[in-house]
Each structure stands twice: as structure tokens, then as C-alpha cells.
Amino acid sequence: MNVAAFVPSKTAIPYYAPGGNEVALFERAWAGQLPLLLKGPTGCGKTRFVAHMAARLGLPLHTVSCHDDLTAADLTGRYLLKGGDTVWTDGPLTRAVREGGICYLDEVVEARKDVAVVLHPLTDDRRILPLERTGEELAAPQSFMLVVSYNPGYQSLIKTMKPSTRQRFVAIEFDFLPPEQEMAVVAAESGLSETRVRPLVQLAGRLRALKGQDLEEGVSTRLIVYCASLIEAGLPTREAVLATMIEPLTDDADVKAALVEIARAVI
């Protein structure tokens, strides 16, 4: 991917094109020591936004991709056997609370229920992390901020955030950028010209309109970036579209055939 123009070195701020006032809101939430919840479809820029904000504020970023086996102990830490001794080892959340900075729990609703218990005392004015196993009670430093994300559209009803947890966060809703802005992002990320990116973004718009009917999820910005990157690398457009904007969306042969038809009309 050709992001060199925007990210000249590893220490530079990752490129992020805002869709609204989320940058100012994030800065206010951080200054006010408030936890933040980012809602929105997969691949719409939530993770990039957090990376951008961490770099902008000069804060370390501790990211955890949550999954359905992730327990509170995976976040806080556990005793591990090391050379015959049992040694306490901090989990990523505990490290973030000790060191300060942003702790980002991506797709938090995927995690086991006991995770909410750990997050509650950290997300009210106590801002503490009790570690039952070690008997410690860590107070979060001023620079600590908890950021969580989830995708309200895609999870089943069982996997949603309980109001008692959700109502502890300042929340920002994310969506895909308007077409002109999304085109600029895809062009910047892939190196493909905006003229060649345009039909891909148009196609994504058509496919997103099918969400809830034939498709569980619409095409993410991430997938359009993949598609544009493959085209930029020399793959024929139709092959790239099939591999990135159609195959990942469905396993149903009839739906796939319908998507191919739509793609033919646009590309």
C-alpha cells in the first residue's frame, strides 16, 4: 500500500480522514478522563482513528482484539510458571493502567461477560482496576483512557452491550465516509488514481444498499482499499473486484451471481 505520502516515517501520525467532529470529541473525552465507545460497521476506520488519536496526543496505544474466548484474566493478567516459580504477569489492560495511555478493546462485545466486571470500576469516577489475585488496586493515571468499539449491526441480539455497561461511555457513531471522501481515502491508501477508484466506490455504494436483504454486511472501506491495491499492483479490475468486493461478502451462489451482475453494470 502506498501510504508513504501521508506517513513519511513510523513515528508520524497515521493518516485519518475525519467524517465529523470525532477528533475534537476524542480530545475532550481524553482531557476529561472519560471512556469512549466507538460504534460502527467493520472496516470503516475506527481502529485507524484510535491509532491516529494516540499518535496525535503522543500516548502509547495498547490494542486488544477481543474474541469469544477472551476472559477478564486475559486482560488483567495471571500467575504463570517461570523456571519453577509462579510469577504474576500483567495482561494488556493492567499494563495500560500501570503505564498510562490508551487501551483500545476492539469488538468488545465478543469478549466473555466477566470482562464487563473489570471495566466497570475503570469507567466511573473511581478509575481503578482491582486485581483480586494480587490484592492490588491500581488507580489509573491521568493519561489513561479506555476506548472500546463494537459493530451494532452485525452481532446477533445475544451479542450486544448491556445498557449498564454502555451507559458508562461517551459514544461516537461511525459510518462509511461520503463517496467523495471515501474515494480520497482509498486513493491515498492504495496509490490508485481517484479516477480509477471512483467506480469501485460507486459499486460499494450499490452493494451496501443490499445490506439487510441479501447481505449481512456491506462492503467495508478496508475491502475497497484491498481491491484498489490489487488493481494498482496489476491485477485485472474484474478479478480484483471478485476477490475483494464479492467473495468475502457471501457464500451463497445465487447471491454471488447477483452481485457479479451488479458489478458488471458498474465496472
Could you list the residues that contact ligand ADP (CB under 6 A)? 15-17, 42-48, 177, 185, 189, 221-222, 225
Q: Which residues contact 82 (CB under 8 A, 6 or more apart)?
A: none
The residue of the chain with the least Cβ separation from ligand ADP equals 45
Q: How far is the CB of 83 from ligand ADP (least distance, A)?
A: 39
Q: How far is the CB of 137 from ligand ADP (least distance, A)?
A: 32
Q: How far is the CB of 69 from ligand ADP (least distance, A)?
A: 20
The residue among 51 and 116 lying less far from ligand ADP, judged by its C-beta, is: 51
Cell of 257: 451471481
Look up residue 169 and give its DSSP letter: S
The residue among 35 and 45 lying less far from ligand ADP, judged by its C-beta, is: 45
Q: How far is the CB of 173 from ligand ADP (least distance, A)?
A: 12
Q: Of 140, 136, 114, 113, which Cα lies nearest the Cα of 125?
A: 140
The residue among 4 and 265 lying less far from ligand ADP, judged by its C-beta, is: 4
Cell of 69: 474466548
The residue among 66 and 140 lying less far from ligand ADP, judged by its C-beta, is: 66
The residue among 65 and 142 lying less far from ligand ADP, judged by its C-beta, is: 65
SS3 for 164? helix
Q: How far is the CB of 3 from ligand ADP (least distance, A)?
A: 8
SS3 for 119? helix
CB 44, CB 175: distance < 8 Å = yes
Neighbouring C-beta atoms of residue 58, cutoff 10 Å: 9
Neighbouring C-beta atoms of residue 150, cutoff 10 Å: 24
Cell of 32: 476529561
Q: How far is the CB of 127 from ligand ADP (least distance, A)?
A: 25
Q: How far is the CB of 98 from ligand ADP (least distance, A)?
A: 26
The residue among 47 and 76 lying less far from ligand ADP, judged by its C-beta, is: 47
Cell of 221: 472501506
Look up residue 151 and give its DSSP letter: -
The residue among 78 and 196 lying less far from ligand ADP, judged by its C-beta, is: 196
Q: Which residues contact 85 (CB under 8 A, 6 or more apart)?
A: none
User: Rounded distance, CA 117 to CA 168, Å?
Assistant: 12
